[in-house]
Amino acid sequence: MDQTTSTTGQPAADSTADAPSSDRALGAPLVELKRVNKHFGALHVLQDIDLTVRKGEVLVVIGPSGSGKSTLCRAINRLETIDDGTITVDGKELPEEGKALAQLRAEVGMVFQSFNLFAHKTVLDNVTLGPRKVRGLSKKAAEEQARALLDRVGVGNQAGKMPAQLSGGQQQRVAIARALAMQPKVMLFDEPTSALDPEMINEVLDAMVALARDGMTMIVVTHEMGFARTAADRVVFMADGQIVEEAAPEEFFTAPKSERARDFLSKILTH
Amino acid sequence: MDDFFSGFAELFAQYDVLAAFWVNIQLTFWAALLSLVLGTVLALMRISPIASLQWAGTAYVTIFRNTPLTIILTFMYLVVFSQLGITLTDDLNSTFFWFAVIGLSVYHAAFVCEAIRSGVNTVPVGQAEAARAIGLSFLPAARLVILPQAFRGAIAPLGNTLIALLKNSTVAVAASVATETSSLMRTMIEFRPDLMVAIFLLFAVGYVILVIPIGLGTTWLSQRLAVKR
Ligand SMILES: Nc1ncnc2c1ncn2[C@@H]1O[C@H](COP(=O)(O)OP(=O)(O)OP(=O)(O)O)[C@@H](O)[C@H]1O
Ligand SMILES: [Mg+2]
């Protein structure tokens, strides 16, 4: 693999020595959710969610299937609307549909479980599309930036290919580059490695760890405990649409306070 | 047998069959272009987030898809031209031609819209979400991400619509286009009833020759341009 990204190489390693929470100075609140509620019909998927993510913070969201993690993630850039409560990004409340919303979305990067690269465009065009059409960058400037970003996530040599020609791990790294190209204030990851073959998981996690080290604010839905321990400042445990527990990663994984979390962890650990 | 073929030769000598086919090809060409534009706009309305536009698009498709083409074309001639006195050019024949094009276009646009929508359904939702997530609003996302993929998925149904349009262009006679194939066929049968079978065959084969390449072409294109996922 063409690894140019990671300084750790092995994010899955248990490295308490450089736990980021100790040396990272967290800034002002960047993403704030206040009493957010959301229903899908009769199902109350998000129940009075209060959550603050500070500038530079890496938050890992963990929880059983159907607990509302994806919905939470998607609500933050309004791919999902909420019923009540407020969500603010960098002090601005999420706008209704329209130009202002598009602008906000440009500042919130999103990485999907299924990559969602634009299937009819080359890797390079995937990364330049947003900067050119939303930010108004020239083709040349956008391509320069795109190549640098593709290099940064280790897929610089794939720029001319179509997404379908890439492996899942490569596609996901392109998707990360595509999101970064908008120079977002915060990046959302919804289970970015769960659609990947095991041998490709680390190449994506490496890119994410490197990003975390560069100071990116990140909200990451993942069950990768190695990543959480290496890169996260805080773990939020969700169950049945509620935030059940919040703690530093080490604390959460070694001494979960709630019964639900203990139960959940015992299940994923026996895998 | 010789008689049979000499019958064809005679028909060709007596009537300008190719000119008649050329009129239908031109009707088809312009109506295809116009209905593609109108159909795309309708498809955009139907997939847009704005409820009133969705409603208007749906209403259009329901009305025009369920109205016989003959009625639309007769309406163009009897109401728009005769009653309202609207003319498009000084030349009567070209006015009728363009009325026929418009009538054919508004009718087939409904089918083009549905073909494009079926193409949109071949594009995974994740494509639209990714487009929105990088800050593209509805129109740019549709133009840059959804439609380019939807058109590739819609080539086969669009081809079918084009074939239907070509054959339906013979209904232009209802809008008084007197130079196209079905008018010529009627004239020929009137004056040469002795060659009736040859006349029918002539037009049937003529259309088959025009239609087959469209079918082959769209099949080839849809395979060649298919989006790999
Ligand atoms: N569009 C939708 N319409 C109706 N119900 C939905 C929709 N999307 C999600 N749900 C339901 O809402 C609940 C929460 O879904 P969500 O995808 O947020 O869970 P999750 O925590 O991400 O789960 P997973 O780990 O399986 O991805 C689930 O019960 C799901 O079935
Ligand atoms: Mg999910």
Per-residue pLDDT reduced to its tens digit, A174-210: 999 999 999 999 999 999 999 999 999 999 999 999 9
Non-local CB neighbours of B72 within 8 Å, separated by 6+ positions: B64, B103, B106, B107
Q: How far is the CA of A116 from the centre of ligand 1 (A)?
A: 18
The answer to whether residue B127 neighbours chain A at the CB level (below 8 Å) is yes
Distance from CA of B85 to the nearest CA of A (A): 43
Q: What is the pLDDT of residue A270?
A: 65
Which amino acid appears at position B138 of this protein? F
Q: What is the pLDDT of residue A18?
A: 44
Q: What is the mean pLDDT of chain A?
A: 90
Q: Which of B48, B122, B129, B134 to mutate to test the interface with A (most CBs of A within 10 A)?
A: B134
- Name the residue among A94, A263, A78 with its Cα closest to residue A188: A78
Does residue A178 sit at the B interface (CB-CB below 8 Å)?
Answer: yes
- How high does pLDDT run on average in chain B? 93
What is the arithmetic mean of pLDDT over A143-164? 96
* pLDDT per residue as tens digits for the range B74-89: 998 888 888 888 888 8
Gap from CA of A195 to ligand 1 centroid (Å): 17
Q: What value does the mean pLDDT take over residues A114-132?
A: 97
Mean pLDDT on A32-50? 96
- Residue A19: band (very low, low, confident or very high) from pLDDT cuts 50, 70, 90: very low
User: CA nearest A87: which of A72, A102, A100?
Assistant: A72
Distance CA B93, CA B177 (A): 7
Q: What is the pLDDT of residue A25?
A: 67
Q: Where are the domains of chain B?
A: 19-225
Mean pLDDT of all residues in A87-107: 90
Residue A118 in contact with ligand 1 by CB distance below 6 A: no
Model confidence at A22: pLDDT above 60: no
Band (A271; pLDDT cuts 50, 70, 90): low
Ligand 1 atom having least distance to the Cα of A221? 22
**How is A71-130 classified by DSSP, letter by letter?**
HHHHHHTTSS--SEEEEEETTEEPP-SSHHHHHHHHHEEEE-TT----TTS-HHHHHHHH
Q: Is the ipTM of this complex over 0.90?
A: no
Distance CA B45, CA A62 (A): 39
Q: What is the spatial distance between Cα B63 and Cα B150, in angstroms, rounded to a whole number?
A: 24
DSSP letters spanning B106-167 = HHHHHHHHHHHHHHHTTS-HHHHHHHHHTT--HHHHIIIIIHHHHHHHTHHHHHHHHHHHHH
Longest dimension (CA), chain A: 55
Pick the range with the lowest mean pLDDT from A187-196, B2-11, B29-38, B97-106.
Answer: B2-11
Whether the CB of A73 sits within 6 Å of ligand 1: no
The two three-digit tokens of residue A158, written as one number? 């794939």
pLDDT at A97: 76
State the pLDDT confidence band at B90, using cuts at 50, 70 and 90.
confident
Average pLDDT, integer, range A138-160: 96
What per-residue confidence (pLDDT) applies to B229? Answer: 83
Give me the pLDDT at residue A14, please: 42
* pLDDT surpasses 50 at A20: no
Q: What is the mean pLDDT of residues B145-152?
A: 96
Q: Look at residue A10 in the predicted model and tell me its pLDDT.
A: 42
Q: What is the pLDDT of residues B180-214, one digit of tens each?
A: 999 999 999 999 999 999 999 999 999 999 999 99
How does pLDDT run across A46-58, given as a tens digit for each residue? 999 999 999 999 9
Say yes or no to pLDDT of A44 above 60: yes
- CA gap A127, A125 in Å, rounded: 5
Asked if residue B6 has pLDDT above 90, the reply is no
Report the pLDDT averaged over residues A37-41: 96
Residue A13: its pLDDT value, please? 41
CB of A67 sitting under 6 A from ligand 1? yes
Pairwise CB contact (< 8 Å): B134 & A119: no
Task: Provide the pLDDT confidence category of residue B55 given band limits of 50, 70 and 90.
Answer: very high
The average pLDDT across A157-175 equals: 96
B19-225: which CATH number, 3.30.420.40, 1.10.12.10, 1.10.357.10, 1.10.3720.10? 1.10.3720.10
